[in-house]
Amino acid sequence: MKKLSVFLFVIVICIWGYDLFQSEINFPPSTNSSTSINEGDLILINSSYAMHENAIPTDIIQAEQHINYASIDDSSIELSKRLVQPLNAMLKEAREQGITNFAINSGYRTFETQQSLYDELGANIALPAGHSEHQLGLAIDIGSTNGPMGLSEEGMWLAQNSWRYGFILRYPEGKTDITGISFEPWHFRYVGIPHSQILFDEQWVLEEYLAYLKENGSYEMKSHKIIYVSSIDQAKQVANNSPYTISGDNLAGYIVTVKKQ
Ligand SMILES: [Zn+2]
């Protein structure tokens, strides 16, 4: 019995020691990080690039039950759980500023839903199944109950402020030649902070941002450094002991977001 206790004690010490060693050589903890090129907040999905099945969300929830400060008439509207906090915070701030007539009209779509939309509306209006950001659970269509979104206070407020909560106006005016989609003042995509700020400041669409990163290798801000690399091993190395997150771009590489200390 005594021998067994000593044996167990030695095992525990070994495991503890190994853990300690591991934690010393481990990279810093990160959140929402992706290890696949086809996953993450920054993956590009458009008419040319389809989503990979890895990107199908597994945290889908009902919008009606979780989203405040917006009218949601359809109980079948769903979205990724990740959007709940930033979306509620954004709509709350708008409400505090007197902008209150938001309506959530669309959220997560399954492959089948997107397929039926495409069949029903045609290629000029809908994207084929596998090519819509709505299938990621990271896109929402927000309208105004006060008229057309592009002309409403709600649309104008979101266009100016949504970046502060990690969202981008994905299909802005004047970028149709790049996005392939006409101006959609209602479609917001979550990319997370600080990327939403960069896109807003530079007036880039996601296609332009990813092309810039790929070509230049990095983007420097006061608070973060954004680095583009081609392998997951490189992605982990460039963080250099600072907190980081990783997202694939769905094309050829990884975007590492390093928080400056
Ligand atoms: Zn949309």
- How many structural domains are present in the chain? 1
Tokens of residue 116, six digits? 């039926």
CATH number of the domain within which 179 lies:
3.30.1380.10
Q: Which pLDDT value is given to residue 169?
A: 98
**Residue 139 CA, ligand 1 centroid: distance in Å:** 6
The answer to whether residue 173 sits within a structural domain is yes
Among 37, 32, 91, residue whose Cα is nearest residue 59: 32
Q: What is the DSSP letter of 62?
A: E
The answer for 166, left when phi > 0, alpha when psi is -120 to 50, beta otherwise, is left
Is 219 inside a domain boundary? Answer: no
Phi-psi region of 208 (alpha: psi -120 to 50; beta: other; left: phi over 0): alpha
Q: Is the pLDDT of residue 153 over 70?
A: yes
Cα–ligand 1 centroid distance for 25 (angstroms): 43
| The total number of residues written for the chain in this structure | 261
134 alpha carbon – ligand 1 mean position (Å): 6
Ligand 1 centroid distance, CA of 184 (Å) = 8
Integer Cα distance of 202 and 91 in angstroms:
24
The answer to the question of residue 31 being in a domain is no
- Going by pLDDT thresholds of 50, 70 and 90, the confidence category of residue 5 is low
Q: Is the distance from CB of 137 to CB of 193 less than 8 angstroms?
A: no
Task: Evaluate whether residue 214 is within a structural domain.
Answer: no
Q: Is residue 149 part of a domain?
A: yes
Residue 242 lies in a domain: no
Nearest to 51 by CA among 142, 128, 121: 128
CA 58 to ligand 1 center in whole angstroms: 20
Give the domain range for residue 97: 53-205
- pLDDT tens for 167-214 read 999 999 999 999 999 999 999 999 999 999 999 999 999 999 999 999
Residue 256, domain member (yes or no): no
* Active site positions, annotated: 184
Supply the pLDDT for residue 261: 82
